[in-house]
Amino acid sequence: MSEETLSNLLKEDRRFEPPAEIAEHANLRAEAYDRAAQDPEAFWAEQAERLSWDEKWDRVLDWDDRPFAKWFVGGRLNASYNCVDRHVEAGRGDKVALHWIGEPEDDTRDLTYAELKDEVSKAANALTELGVGTGDRVAIYLPMIAEAVIAMLACARIGAPHTVVFGGFSSEALSSRLVDCQAKVVITSDGGYRRGAAAALKPAVDEARAKSSAQGHTVEKVLVVRRTGQDVEWNDDVDVWWHDAVDAASTEHTPEAFDAEHPLYVMYTSGTTGKPKGILHTTGGYLTGTSYTHWAVFDLKPETDVYWCSADIGWVTGHSYMVYGPLANGATQVMYEGTPDSPERGRWWKIIQDYGVTIFYTAPTAIRSFMKQGREIPDRYDMSSLRILGSVGEPINPEAYIWYRQVIGGDRTPVVDTWWQTETGMIMISPLPGVTRGKPGSAMTPIPGVSAEVVNEAGDAVPNGSGGYLVLTAPWPSMLRTIWGDDERFIDTYWARFRDQGYYFAGDGAKKDDDGDIWVLGRVDDVMNVSGHRLSTTEIESALVSHPKVAEAAVVGAKDEDTGQAVCAFVILREEAGDGGEDIVAELRKHVRQEIGPIATPRQIMIVPELPKTRSGKIMRRLLKDVAEHREVGDVTTLADSSVMDMISEGIDSGKAED
């Protein structure tokens, strides 16, 4: 974000008081900030009491072996029991856990907590039958169907860490994850519905399995949900239908208690190198953090609220705020399979109206796309049930915030702009709806129990009114425990930058305004944020370079009105490839789609004769960003060859670039 936009942002002086009604009955009040700060461990112990433990912990936090934390040491619990059984035992078995809504109209399924318990138990029995034991990894590659939730909880129930791979990722991306975590079983479906059509998933699993075998890893079984009914290739040795294995299984299953630090799941996310990082979350701390934040930040009243988080289950938001947080809290929620505009543009708003949704959580990129379509569409629906709106994934610009509040929230609803990461597992910085005077564009302050700071290069807190790096200064229960199989990378990536202070470095830049409230500005490393999804510049560069015609590639995230940032690639072709041929740009875009997935497809590819590099050979992405954002190119004095930027500009003017 440029300095100019930044100062505009900080001039923002609109404030929104918490509505009296919400303030009066708020789950968490202003006193919690001080109470938590005075004795954080006591505060977290109090939050852990929200859960059912088979054995209570002896120690809240073991932080001796930094940065490897252990929370609720000695405690034992089962995450699936906490999300399902205990609500049934408490007499709430008839309460709806999931209002599942398929993309095709009238394709819906309500699951009560009692039904969910039966489904999860059956799936747990089926997985055991397939040979999955405690500690084995299970990959889940599913569309947004109820079985995705059931599968995750079934894994948790038997202590088999799951790794959910976003259904939009390619077979290549899937296979690299299968190999990295050595997944024994994959749970998938024939396909899913998107934009009115059935899109296949199973073929990608077949390919990924073959690719994994080529790398010496065998996926033993593939459990396949029938969703679309499309034809699938079948291998009797490996493939098993969900409806055969799960439907036949018993609804009786006794959940075993696991150690609080037992691995719950691995979620892959993009880092600054080409290889995605497997973020490891464990059981007790993660569930404590997600349950607490879901209750506090959304002020959840489980008896009356209908909650809806529009995130895909393949991302951390789907894990923390669709599965573990809300279900641990016994919430009733909506889960929607498809796209917002299918079969019509008002589909989301119709769902809010039909189901009486009271809390809605989505991403700024979605809000901006609705703004573009105009308020006439949401205005057709009665959304007066809404009381709290949430935003996540990228900075929300004040215009989008105001539109969200006014048009979707009828100017009644607080907007909670929640900052967090795959690594943090839970919301860290956010307004509290019953306490905070909201400022459009600011995530405000760390929530009670969390300690964050904005620091300079030396690790010192910056004064109000200044910017710097966002760090977390104390451990929190749902923090990542490591990067799967790579402790060194865990230390280097998050804990080396401010080693002396012992701070966790989030990779984001932020500014504190004159009141000390935090404005998150975005990544300061080579991670892009496209439509709220994290992508690594290096990962896309590696994908491009793996194409036979490409010699070198540099990728930058350029500002984009709709998606926040967009992928822009600069490519040097190999000499023998000549000019690459007429369709080179389309060919390369397709290649990236295949290597990673549609979300990584470059908006723009520019074929250039040279790339700007420093004398030590480092690509100067800053200059490429200037080009991609149509700005005058900045300071070029450190370039090894200062004529390069002219060559690039000329190359672009002469064609071979495509939007």
The one among 141, 420, 498, 505 contacting ligand WTA by CB under 6 A: 420
Angle between helices 584-595 and 537-545 (to 10 degrees): 120
Question: Among residue numbers 9 through 38, which ones bind ligand WTA (CB under 6 A)?
Answer: none
Contacts of 35 (CB under 8 A, 6+ apart): 43, 448
Q: Does 325 bind ligand WTA (CB under 6 A)?
A: no
Q: Does 269 bind ligand WTA (CB under 6 A)?
A: yes
Q: Does 392 bind ligand WTA (CB under 6 A)?
A: yes
Looking at the DSSP bridge assignments, the partners of residue 100 are 109, 335
Least Å distance, CB 495 to ligand WTA, is: 16
User: Coil, strand or helix: which one is 359?
Assistant: strand
Q: What are phi and psi of 175, to 5 degrees?
A: -65, -35
Token output for 254:
């006794």
Q: Does 112 bind ligand WTA (CB under 6 A)?
A: no
Q: Look at the block and give the residue holding tokens 């900045």.
A: 634
Q: Look at the block and give the residue holding tokens 């923390």.
A: 320
Distance of CA 219 to the CA centre of its chain: 26
Amino acid found at 205: V
Least Å distance, CB 431 to ligand WTA, is: 11
Question: Among residue numbers 52 through 71, which ones bind ligand WTA (CB under 6 A)?
Answer: none
The one among 175, 290, 418, 531 contacting ligand WTA by CB under 6 A: 418
**Which residue number has the CB closest to ligand WTA?**
422
DSSP secondary structure string for all residues of 92-122: ITTSEEEEEE-SSTT-EEEEEHHHHHHHHHH
Looking at the DSSP bridge assignments, the partners of residue 263 are 282
Q: Which residue number, 81 or 308, has a Cβ lying nearer to ligand WTA? A: 308
Of 199-207, 347-355, 370-378, 412-420, which segment contacts ligand WTA by CB under 6 A? 412-420
Least Å distance, CB 364 to ligand WTA, is: 8
Looking at the DSSP bridge assignments, the partners of residue 101 are 108, 336
Region of residue 179 (left: phi > 0; alpha: psi -120 to 50; beta: else): alpha
Each residue 483-522 as x (binds ligand WTA by CB under 6 A) or -, in order, gives -----------------------xxx-----------x-x
Least Å distance, CB 493 to ligand WTA, is: 12
The one among 172, 305, 417, 453 contacting ligand WTA by CB under 6 A: 417
Q: Which residue number, 506 or 572, has a Cβ lying nearer to ligand WTA? A: 506
**What radius of gyration do the chain's Cα atoms show?**
24
Q: CA 318, CA 55: separation in Å to the nearest integer?
A: 28
Each residue 629-648 as x (binds ligand WTA by CB under 6 A) or -, in order, gives --------------------
Q: Does 476 bind ligand WTA (CB under 6 A)?
A: no
Q: CA 608, CA 627: separation in Å to the nearest integer?
A: 12
Q: Does 398 bind ligand WTA (CB under 6 A)?
A: no
The one among 332, 422, 442, 538 contacting ligand WTA by CB under 6 A: 422
Least Å distance, CB 40 to ligand WTA, is: 22
Q: Does 270 bind ligand WTA (CB under 6 A)?
A: no
Q: Which residue number, 403 or 419, has a Cβ lying nearer to ligand WTA? A: 419
SS (H, E, C) 435-491: CCCECCCCCECECCCCCEEEECCCCCECCCCCEEEEEECCCCCCCCCEECCCHHHHH
Each residue 534-563 as x (binds ligand WTA by CB under 6 A) or -, in order, gives x-----------------------------
Least Å distance, CB 101 to ligand WTA, is: 23
Amino acid found at 201: L
Contacts of 234 (CB under 8 A, 6+ apart): none
Least Å distance, CB 423 to ligand WTA, is: 7
Q: Which residue number, 393 or 597, has a Cβ lying nearer to ligand WTA? A: 393
Least Å distance, CB 285 to ligand WTA, is: 17
Q: Does 180 bind ligand WTA (CB under 6 A)?
A: no
Q: Which residue number, 57 or 286, has a Cβ lying nearer to ligand WTA? A: 286
Q: Does 452 bind ligand WTA (CB under 6 A)?
A: no
Least Å distance, CB 365 to ligand WTA, is: 11
Q: Does 103 bind ligand WTA (CB under 6 A)?
A: no
Q: Which residue number, 205 or 323, has a Cβ lying nearer to ligand WTA? A: 323
The one among 165, 443, 528, 550 contacting ligand WTA by CB under 6 A: 443
User: Coil, strand or helix: which one is 336?
Assistant: strand
Token output for 1:
């974000």
Of 110-118, 226-234, 243-251, 388-396, which segment contacts ligand WTA by CB under 6 A? 388-396
Each residue 278-317 as x (binds ligand WTA by CB under 6 A) or -, in order, gives -------------------------------------xxx
Each residue 118-157 as x (binds ligand WTA by CB under 6 A) or -, in order, gives ----------------------------------------
Kind of pairing, strands 108-112 and 332-336?
A: unpaired
Q: Does 84 bind ligand WTA (CB under 6 A)?
A: no
Contacts of 513 (CB under 8 A, 6+ apart): 10, 439, 442, 464, 465, 519
SS (H, E, C) 477-531: CCCCCEECCCHHHHHHHHHCCCCCCCCEEEEEEEEECCCCCEEEEEECCCEEEEC
Q: CA 71, CA 635: separation in Å to the nearest integer?
A: 48
Region of residue 14 (left: phi > 0; alpha: psi -120 to 50; beta: else): beta
Q: Which residue number, 332 or 531, has a Cβ lying nearer to ligand WTA? A: 531
DSSP state, 613? B
Site of interaction with ligand WTA (CB under 6 A): 269, 315-317, 392-395, 417-422, 443, 506-508, 520, 522-523, 529, 534
